[in-house]
Amino acid sequence: MTPSFPVPRTCPYAPPPEYERMREEAPLVRASLPHGDVWLVTRYAEARQVLNGQGISTSPATPGHPNNAFTAEEPTQEQREVMERFRVGQFIDMDPPEHGRYRRLLIPEFTVRRVKEMRPGIQRTADLLIDDMLAKGPDAELVADFGLALPSLVICQLLGVPYADHEFFQSRTRTMVSSDDPQASFAAIIEIKNYLADLVAEAARQPKDDLLGRLITAGEVNHDEIVGMISLLLIAGHETTANMIPLGVLTLLRHPGQLARLREDPGLWPMAVEELLRYLSIVDWVAFDRVAVEDQEIGGQLVRKGEGIFVLGASANRDERAFERPDDFDIDRGARHHVAFGYGVHQCLGQNLARAELEIAYRTLFERIPSLRLAVNEEEVPFKYCQVIFGANAMPVTWRHS
């Protein structure tokens, strides 16, 4: 029997239990979407093969792309035209060489050296947010007060987007990634596009020394392309990290022995971040949608041209063929070869920034609030079990007065 997909999580710290069964069954498993079938890649080696991109397309315009099998509704002509314009510059959905043209313009903004220069600013932002929490404490809502606020402030500063507008783009982004209503998602896309179009037009009149200003003055991309590039960075630049911060905090609180070692030796934080990324795998399949553009063999299975593929990142990151004791959380693992950021030409452009934000967020939070703990029973935390990017909607925390 062909299983249905997607499969929701049932535990905050593990992929859906069905993944283990599928992974044992085969490296590729056939599954049913609402309006079509798809191949699910369950194991690590095959995940890297598909994500490497040979004979594979990531573009939703490619016939057979799995995203098109989620709904039977044909977009209206207006919706089609708006989406086509909105996707201009959204290089995550492009294949080489078009993908490389946009990525090349942004690589200098996210190098290890550039992110190292940004770290003092990220640290100041984290400290200010914690200052505010402590002033209002000893209770806080970790998602809103810290998890969402930190990456939102950082990406706004990087891009040149006014932070005063953060609630607007956060709410519209949330609708885009979580709504089951195609019309609501489309309306949110329109609002974001119009907002960013106005922002880019205003920046073009007087470019500043920020990423947006540098794209404008470089003169290699037009207005619509910049709008698409900025929208992608704005959404990707806060949504995933915002979910990782609170969930990682909760994971560390559940492993007090390992947290104690991190407090004793802050040099272990980079390895801990890698393990959290592997262990939690909050993005799973949503960014790993592909379609075969030629007949090929993957994991001993013939995949024909036009057949859709989802790489299950959360399953690949729990593959015992690649990770010893994969279901254990172990900060000594050094699992930098995980696929939480993808692999190949589409590997996450902002991964260096995400690593820095996570490391600074966790270290600073536990250094400055050493008695931090969950303020409710874990069962009362509202997790996003049915949303495409996993996390918590809210996480009440508390601490002792020092």
Q: What is the DSSP string of 182-201?
A: HHHHHHHHHHHHHHHHHHHH
For residue 10, what pLDDT is reported?
93
Q: What is the DSSP letter of 34?
A: T
Which value, to the nearest 10 degrees, does the dihedral of the CA atoms of residues 87, 89, 90, 95 take? 100
For residue 1, what pLDDT is reported?
63
Arithmetic mean of pLDDT over the chain: 91
Measured between alpha carbons, how far is residue 215 from residues 224, 227, 359 in Å? 12, 11, 28
* pLDDT confidence band for 74 (50 / 70 / 90): low
Whether 242 and 249 have beta carbons less than 8 Å apart is answered as no
The predicted-structure confidence for 21-43, as pLDDT tens digits, reads as follows 999 999 999 999 888 899 999 99
In order, the DSSP letters of 55-74 are: TEE--TTSTT-GGGGS--PP
* pLDDT confidence band for 352 (50 / 70 / 90): very high
Percentage above 70 pLDDT, the chain: 96
Read off φ and ψ for residue 29, nearest 5 degrees.
-125, 140
CATH architecture of 18-398: Orthogonal Bundle (1.10)
Q: If you search the block for the tokens 């990634």, which residue do you land on? A: 177
Whether 286 and 343 have beta carbons less than 8 Å apart is answered as no
3-state helix, strand, coil in the chain (%, to 5): 55, 10, 35
For residue 330, what pLDDT is reported?
97
Q: Of 193-202, 268-277, 304-313, 366-375, which gets the smallest average pLDDT?
A: 193-202
Measured between alpha carbons, how far is residue 229 from residues 102, 103, 223 in Å? 8, 9, 10
For residue 386, what pLDDT is reported?
82
List the one residue out of 377, 378, 371, 338 whose CA is nearest residue 134.
371
Residue 135: pLDDT above 70? yes
What distance, in Å, lies between the first and last C-alpha atoms of the chain? 58
CA 261 to chain centre: 28
Strands in 34-174 per DSSP E:
36-41, 56-57, 139-141
Residue 156: pLDDT above 90? no
Q: What is the mean pLDDT of residues 95-105?
A: 93
Cis, peptide link before residue 17, omega less than 30° from 0: no
Question: What whole-number distance in Å separates Cα of residue 355 and Cα of residue 361?
Answer: 10
Higher-scoring residue by pLDDT: 355, 168 = 355
Domain ranges of the chain: 18-398
CA angle 181, 58, 82 (to 5 degrees): 45
The predicted-structure confidence for 177-211, as pLDDT tens digits, reads as follows 655 666 777 788 788 888 889 999 999 999 988 89
* pLDDT confidence band for 233 (50 / 70 / 90): confident
